Homo-oligomer: A and B are copies of this chain.
Amino acid sequence: MTVLVRAQPLSRESFAAFGDVIETEDATSYTINAGWAERFHDLAALDVTAQSGRPTVSIFRSKPRPVPVTLTLMERHCLSSQSFVPLSSTPFLVVVAAAGGAPADSAALHAFVSNGRQGVSYHRGTWHHPLLAIKQLSDFLVIDRTGPEEDCDEIEIADWDIKVVIES
């Protein structure tokens, strides 16, 4: 039987156990460049240099999933945070589970919807679904780690038959 998981609006508070929300809303800032700019400083705890890792910047171009979105896989990076910031100002879904043992069932999953101006930075070890663009082909700036070894654990969940619906 299909399990429906409801995506709630992304916020710092609701996402704190899993990572950081990268956004200016309610963030402190200070003026720079002789008044021409505001700096919202240090918005996520980047954790990308363990075991000879180096910080890496990439762009992911993600195809939109049909809504409601069917979940297929959860993954985690035990050596690195991983940050995604939308470049297309388009809402997307974020599905996570707590760091630690692999999620056992749908009750372990938490779904959020970004307003399109919010990025996320998963803490090291947070289980997360691969990118879930929903509206259009969407580019994301990604900050993660390049290191000498693979750093991705995966668990297939397609047969859990979970769909994410967006709360209105």
Q: Quick one: CB contact mask for A54-95 with B, threshold 8 Å, 1 for yes? A: 111111111101000000110000000001011111000000
Contact B85 A24 (CB under 8 A): no
Cβ-defined partner of A141 (8 Å) among B65, B85, B131? B85
Instruction: Select from chain B the residue with minimum beta-carbon distance to A41.
Output: B58
Interface 9-mer from A10-18, A28-36, A101-109: A28-36
* Binding stretch for chain B, among A1-9, A42-50, A160-168: A42-50
Is A36 a contact of B22 with CB atoms below 8 Å?
no
Nearest chain B residue, comparing its CB with the CB of A140: B37
Known: A29-B61, A55-B55, A89-B89. 6 other contacts (CB 8 A): A27-B59, A32-B60, A40-B60, A43-B57, A46-B57, A49-B49
